[in-house]
Amino acid sequence: MKKIYIVILNYNGWKDTIECLESVLKSDYQNFQIIVVDNDSPNNSMDFIVDWADGKQDVNCTVESELSFLSYPFEEKPIAYVGYFKSNLLYSNNLGLNKKHENPLIFIQSGENKGFAAGNNIAIKYAQEQDDFEYIWLLNNDTVIEKNTLSRLVDGTNKDKNIGIFGTMLKEYYMPKSIQTYGGIVNKYLGTSRYVKNESELNDIDFISGASMLITKACINKVGLLPEEYFLYYEETDYCFRAKKLGFSLSVIIDAVVYHKEGATTKLGSKNVRMDLLFHSNRLHFAKKYLRHIYLVKFGIFMASIKRFLRFEFKQSFNLLKLIFKK
């Protein structure tokens, strides 16, 4: 049975993270370890997560959710873990296990928030140091999975050795019958992207959603770590483009289902000044690396600036204009 490291990045979302962990621990595929990286949450998230593992913290799942059965009944506590500050062992309740890396839970405090890619890379580096895995599964903390999600995902990896990155069917957590995405397609002229929700487009996807992305060891060894220059948005798109340039292909295992709450703390909207600027800045950065029509991308950002101006969002409009004229 091939070993998998499941990487869950937390930022201020300990309640979601605990609900996700409860669902993952019920998997019928058992050869995995979970690495939870806290991106220096100001709300002391890691303390709550550690208390949960020790059985001292109640689970605050969305009881009224249609999907509550995926996390209930709760796992017996305490659950063995080790905790690190970046790479240094801080604490452990390993409950008699002989080696620290045999614990089902590995908690890492990043000490600083350098973004989605940097937080995940801490866990990926840990896994590479252990060198005992076949896959790394990046899983958003605001997700829950079915009991057979992981086993179906692993079964699907036998399709083609050239596939380096696998996705799952992402469904809406609050509307479980609704498909959120299978992956994404990039507009090669404007640098924008859209979700794929139709199986007929599966062969056309350009990237796998970072909310649920399984990466093979071979792909990680050749492509390397996630690109940290983005902080948030476009990092998984960049990684998938880089992987394809190096000869790997993408695939979606549609019978492996993940339910996603989607961006509880980072929903993009033009009224969120920082996120709006970050999104379009990364859009332009990605386009300069991989696309030919930079002037069309800049024109698209110019039109976005005009829309914000007409909505009296003058600061956002000015920020986007400055992006266009940067070298």
| pLDDT (tens digit per residue) in 81-136 | 998 887 565 555 655 444 445 789 999 999 999 999 999 999 999 999 899 999 99
Question: Token digits for 153?
Answer: 């995902």
Question: Token digits for 312?
Answer: 């009296």
Distance of CA 215 to the CA centre of its chain: 12
Full domain range(s) for residue 213: 4-260
Label residue 326 by pLDDT band (50, 70, 90): confident
Q: 144 and 252 share a domain? A: yes
Query: Which of 238, 260, 282 is at the close of a domain?
Result: 260
Q: Assign residue 208 the CATH number of its domain.
A: 3.90.550.60
Distance of CA 327 to the CA centre of its chain: 31
| pLDDT (tens digit per residue) in 133-155 | 999 999 999 999 999 999 999 99
- Strand 163-172 to 249-260 pairing: parallel
* Phi and psi angles of residue 16, each rounded to the nearest 5 degrees, phi first: -65, -40
Q: 166 and 255 share a domain? A: yes
- Strand 163-172 to 212-216 pairing: antiparallel
Label residue 270 by pLDDT band (50, 70, 90): very low
Q: 156 and 10 share a domain? A: yes
On whether residue 267 sits in a domain, the answer given is no
- Residue 215: name the closest of 299, 293, 121, 301 by CA: 121
3-state helix, strand, coil in the chain (%, to 5): 40, 25, 40
Q: Do 170 and 209 contact (CB within 8 A), yes or no? A: yes
Q: 198 and 302 share a domain? A: no
pTM over 0.95: no
